Amino acid sequence: MEPITEEDLRASFVNCSRGEAKRLGLPRGFTDLPWDDLDFLGWRDPGAPARAYLVAERDGSLVGIALRVTSGASRAFTSRSMCSLCLTTHTSGGVALMTARRTGEAGRQGNTVGQYMCADLACSLYTRGKRQAAGGAAVEESLTLEEKVARTRANLRSFLAKVPG
């Protein structure tokens, strides 16, 4: 994605208050991120670990989604879980349930959408092999890098499409 400014980032949020968007903690190293390798910008709030954010380009504009991180989900039946965006398999803790409040009337009624995602929201880097899942199985896929990137982006788009109420 193209580099974005702090101002654009804070103005992009659609499902939280202006106050929250104004106060949220920026990603570490915000001025020096590997933008070329990012399909979207995702991060955990450095000052509030239960909050995460995702900013992506959609139809030519930026869409920011505020997420609540639900960790410690009971997943005793399996020691591994998979991110629904980049399909990276992690050992427990590497994937978290991220919940977004929907916008509009649905949001006012308290509706949310949740998906399991990489707990560090670094899906773009896992997709490109620039970050490895700790203890994750190196599943060999026959897809090319371009195909993997396209898949991650398609999964992201379908998540973003669920947020508007």
Binding site for Zn ion (CB under 5 A): 83, 85-86, 88, 118, 123
**Which amino acid does the sequence have at 127?**
T
CB of 58 to Zn ion, least distance (A): 18
Give the nearest distance from C-beta 71 to Zn ion in angstroms. 15
Question: Which helix or strand (DSSP H or E) is residue 124 part of?
Answer: helix 123-127
| Least gap, CB of 155 to Zn ion (angstroms) | 9
Cα–Cα distance between 102 and 14 in angstroms, integer? 9
Tell me whether residue 16 or residue 118 sits nearer to Zn ion (CB atom).
118
Looking at beta carbons only, is 10 or 80 nearer to Zn ion? 80
Q: Which is nearer to Zn ion, 63 or 85 (CB)?
A: 85
Q: Which is nearer to Zn ion, 15 or 88 (CB)?
A: 88
- Min separation Cβ 84 and Zn ion, Å: 8
- Nearest of 14, 125, 21 to residue 61 by alpha carbon: 14
Q: Which long-range contacts (CB under 8 A, 24 or more apart) does 158-161 make?
A: 159/84, 159/85, 159/113, 159/115, 160/56, 160/58, 160/63, 160/65
